[in-house]
Structure formats: C-alpha cells, structure tokens
Structure 1
Amino acid sequence: MYSYTMAQWLFFFYFYCFFGWCFESAFVSLKKRSCVNRGFMRGPFLPLYGSGAIMMLVVSMPFQHNVLLTYVAGCIGATVLEYITGVVMEVLFKVRYWDYSNQKFNFKGYICLTSTLAWGGLTILMTRIVHKPIEQLVGDIPHNILMSIVFILTIYIVADFTLSFKAAIDLRDILVKLEAAKEELERVQKRLDVIIAVSNEGREAKKQERGERADELLSSIEERLLGLKGKIQSGVLTYPESMREEILDLWMKYKINLEKSRQLKNLMDIYKRRLIKGNPTMVSAKFKHAFQEIKDVVYDRLKK
C-alpha cells in the first residue's frame, strides 16, 4: 500500500501531468509533422494524464501482486475517468477535446475499446516500471524542498488552468453567439425565398441551396439582396411600399449579423487560439459549422 504525504501526491500528479504532455505532444507532433503544444492548458501540463496516473496508483493498490487484476482495474478505472471527463468538458464547453467516433466499439465518441485496453497496459507499465524510480526520487527529496517545489507548481498550474478555463468558456460563448447569428440569417434567407417566389422567380429560389455555414449564408443573402436591389432600381420588379420596407429591414439585419460575425471571430485571443491549435481533433456536435469557421480563422492566421 502507498503511504505518501499530501505534498508527495501532489508532486506525483504534477509530474505525470508533465510526463503526459511530453508523450502526447511528441506523438501528435510526429503524426501532424509539425510542432503541437498539446492539451487544455497553455503550459506543459495535461491534467487528464496526471489524474489518470493517480487513479492508476489508487485502483491498483489492492492488486499490487496480481498482474491480471491490476490490468482489469486500470481498464475500468481509466475508462470511467475518461468518460466522465469527456462528458463534463462537453457539457461545460460545448466541444469535445477528443473524439473516438471513428474508432470501432466506441461509446458516444467519449471512450472506445482500443483506448480501454491501452489504459490497462499503461496501468501495469505505470505501477510496475515507471513509478518505482519516480517514487524513489521523490522519497529522496528533503521535505522542505519538496514543499517549496509543490507550492510554486501549484500557484503556476492554478493560474494557468484558470486562464485556460476562462478561454474555453469564452470560446463556448462565441460559438453560442455565432450560432444565434446563423439562425437569424436563416430566417432572413427564408423570408427572401418568399419574396423572390412572390415576384414570380420561384425557380431561381429553388435552384439556390441553403448554405449550412454562416459564411455561405452571408454570401447567398448578399447575392439575393443585391439582385433584388438592382431589379427594383431598374424597374424590372415593382413592390408595394410595405415590401420595400421589409427588404430594407432584411438588408439591415444582414449587415448587423455580418458585422457581428466578424467581431466574434476577431475575439480569438492567444489563449483561445492555443486551445484550438493544441487540440487539432476538437469537434463540436452542437455547433459543428460555427466551430469549423472558427478553426478556419485560426489556421488561416497561422499561414500568414
């Protein structure tokens, strides 16, 4: 049984957060063939790995002399942790920081069989090989020095996590507002369809497909509004005053939502961009198109 002080437990947590960041960043960087600072936080720490490592130590305590039971305990414990973390993060931030939907035997994209089996193997590797020298190293550090290290790391990590959490919440709010703007644009486009149909141009309205992304909607709406404006000015189309006022109102709504979309995308500061760049597999089921637009903005800025 492990008998560590609180300072030692915290040091182990921070160490494995860092170790996990090294492993994950190296793996993803090699896969993407470019340097990727992986993770939720800006600094070199991945809390999921630190939590997973501590969980592995705890669940394997009763089975330290039984490899099979250690493996099973690691599979179950880590999978439960990964599932709960994934669900909570998506509820809070409206995005998934990992997604196993393309893997066989996955459950709602949060967990999958391959990952579960790997967690069991990592638990054995962790408890039988990796942790022993780390345990020895920490045991040799004088208590006062260890406390100072833990204190400094705690301040840094809490500050980093707070800023990262705020950035994730801000990113969520941007997604919500972009989606609201998109819904308003869809209402504008539907009304334009009716106006165009009334003017005996139903065939034109039917040929134009409704864009799913906000930028596609904006382009389609602008084209239709400019078309109507040109035909009204040339005398090809005549509308009663009430409909002219409605078209003007639709034009104003278009301009307002165009500016709103631009402003929201310009709110992507370094922490929000860091979240997206550090998690290239991030997805958002609820705000799929809005999130893809934001990702396009981030990666377009990287190319400049």
Structure 2
Amino acid sequence: MYHYTLSQWLFFFYFYCFFGWCFESTYVSICQKKLVNRGFIRGPFLPLYGSGAIMMLLVSSPMKGNLVGIYIAGCIGATVLEYVTGVVMEALFKVRYWDYSHKKLNFQGQICLESTLCWGLLTILMTQFIHKPVEHIAMLIPHKVLLLVVAVISLYFIADFVTSFQVAMDLRDILVKAEQAKQELERMQKRLDVLIAVANDEREAKKEKRLERREELVGTIEEAFAQLREALPASELLKEKREEILELRDRFIGNKRVGEEKEQSFIHNFIKRNMLKGNPTMTSHKFHDTLEELKKSASEYRRKR
C-alpha cells in the first residue's frame, strides 16, 4: 500500500490533472487543427485524470508485481469512475462532455470497450513508469514547501472549479429554457395554423409540419402573423379572435427577446464562450439542436472579433 501524507496525495492529484490537460489539449488541438484549452474548468487541469490517477494507484496497490492484475484493476476501476462521472455530469448539466455513442461496444455512450482497454494500459504505464519519478520529486520537496504549494494550487483550483460549475449551470439553464420556449412556439404555431385556416374559410387546418430548429419555428410564426394581419380586416371570424391574436403576438415577441438576450449574454462572456470552445465534442441528446446553435453562434462571434 502507498503511505503518503495528505499534501502528497494532493500534489499527485494536481500533477496528474495537469498531465491529463496537456495530453487532452494536445490531442484535441491536433484533431481540431487549432489550439484548444480542453476541459471542464478553464485552468490547466482535467480533474477526471487526477481522480483517475489516484484511483489507479489505489486499486493497483494490492496487485504490485502482477501486471495482469494491475491491468484488470485499472480497466475496471477507471471505467467505473468514467461512467459515474459522466452520468452525474449529464444529470447535473444536461450535456455530455464526452460521448462514445459512435464507438462500437459502448454503453449508454458514457463508456466503451476501447476506452476501457486504454485505461488498463494507462494504469500499467502510470504505475510502472510515470509515477515513480513523480513520487521521487514529491519526496524531495520539503514538507512545508509542499504544503504551501498545494495550498496555493488548491485555492486556485477551487475558485476555478466554482466559476466553471456556475458557467455549466448557466448553460444548462439556457438549454432547458430554450427547449421550453421551443415547445411554446410549437403550441403557438398549431394555434396560428387554426386561425389561418379560419381566415381562409377552410374546414381543416393545414397538415402539421414538424420543425426541428427553433429558427424555422420563429420564421414560420412570423409568416403566420403576417398572414393574419392581412386577413384580419376582411374576416369577421378573425375579428372575434383579435384579442387572442394580439396576446399570442405579445407572448411571441417577449419570449423571443428574452431568449435572444440570454444567449447573447452567454456568448459575449469570455469564460462562458470558452467553455464551448474548450469542449468541441460536448453534446446533448435532449437539447442537441439548441446546443449546436449556441456553439455556432459562439464560433461566429469569435470570428467577427
């Protein structure tokens, strides 16, 4: 078993958070062909790698000298950690920061066989080669100096994590409210279809057309209001519905303005905008269209600047 002080454990955690950030940022930057500050938090840390490294040390400790045992323990331990972290983050933030749905033999898109096998290899690499010199460095640092270094990094890390957590919650609120607004627009569209049918003296409303993107819904509703404006003076039936039409229009204008203001506020914020930039593979099954529109808007804003 490893016998480290709390400050040494924290030093290892932060070291491997930084190591993971270097690895992921380099890999994603190469794939994206541009510099990407990878990760949930904005500083040079990836907490999943730090917690994963600590977990690897703990689960492999009873298997010292047994490479097969270390490999299996690393596969199981890291996969469980990745799955639990992914499920909790998706439940909290409504988005996935990684998604293996396109990989073969995946489970719920949170884990896959390929990553599990890689975790086992990484456990052997870390415990047999990487950790030994890192441990040596930690042992050379005087206790008081190490304590000071860890304390300073901890303050920065906590402040960064709290800020990033709030940004992620803001993104979640935008996605949830945008989906609610979209559902409201769909209900509004159906009612307007009926009113237009009345204006045209039709017995049935036109066939429902499923619109996936909010922009399409907005355009369709704006067109419907224009048609009603033209038909209103000549239709006695519509005159009776005048108050309802005005109410629908006011709700539409108000909801559209509020939604646009929230999204623009998010995109214009450097930290929030970089949350999207630093996680290009971020996805959401329930809020996919809204998230992609937000990413597109943020990317266009960066280009204009």
TM-score, scaled relative to structure 2: 0.95
Q: 1:194 to 1:60 in 2, by over 3 A?
A: same
Q: Distance in 1 between matches of 2:205 and 2:297?
A: 30
> Deviations along 1:127-162, whole A, 9 cap, x unmatched?
001111111111111111111100100000000001
Matched residue of 1:267: which SS?
helix
Gaps of 5+ in 2: none
Matched, 1:272 2:275: no
The equivalent of 1:282 in structure 2 is 282
Whichever residue aligns with residue 107 of structure 1, its letter is F
Deviations 1:11-33 (A, max 9, x none): 00000000000000000000000
Q: 1:202 to 1:128 in 2, by over 3 A?
A: farther
| C-alpha distance after superposition, 1:38-76 (max 9, x if no partner) | 000010000000001101100000001100010000000
Q: Which residue of 1 aligns with 2:259?
A: 261
After superposition, what is the alpha-carbon deviation per residue over 1:227-285, rounded to whole angstroms, capped at 9, x for unaligned? Answer: 2212335x3x4434321222112111111111011111122122221211111111112
Inter-partner Cα distance in structure 1 for 2:66 and 2:129:
15
Root-mean-square deviation (Å): 1.7
Q: Which residue in the other structure is 2:299 paired with?
A: 299
CA distance in 2, matches of 1:113, 1:197: 55
Look up the match of 2:44: 44
1:142-191 Cα shifts (integer Å, max 9, x gaps): 11111110010000000000100111111111111111211111111010
Structure 2 residue 80 is matched with structure 1 residue 80 = yes
4+ residue segments displaced more than 4 Å: 201-205
CA distance in 2, matches of 1:253, 1:181: 11
Counterpart residue identity of residue 265, structure 1: E
**Residue matched to 2:24:** 24
**Aligned 8 A contact 2:232 2:238 in 1:** no
Identity of aligned residues (%): 57
Q: Is the 8 A contact 1:178 1:264 kept in 2?
A: no
Matches of 1:221 and 1:36, distance apart in 2: 39
Corresponding letter in the other structure for 2:100: Y
Alignment of 1:139-154 (within 5 A): 139-154=139-154
Cα deviations across residues 185-243 of structure 1 (Å, max 9, x unaligned)? 1111010111122334769964773322222211110011112212335x3x4434321
Matched with 1:246 is 244
Q: Report the TM-score when normalising by structure 1.
A: 0.95
Amino acid in the other structure paired with 1:127: T
The number of aligned residues is: 302
Judge which range, 257-266 or 67-76, deviates more.
Answer: 257-266
SS of the residue aligned with 2:237? coil
Structure 1 residue matching 2:265: 3-state secondary structure? coil
| 1:143–1:202 Cα change, 3 Å | farther
Residue aligned with 1:65, SS: coil
> Residues of 2 paired with 1:3 and 1:202: CA distance?
81
8 Å CA contact 1:181–1:260 kept in 2: the answer is no
Q: Assess if the C-alpha contact under 8 Å between 2:105 and 2:112 holds in 1.
A: yes
Gaps of 5+ in 1: none
The yes-or-no answer on 1:231 pairing with 2:231 is yes
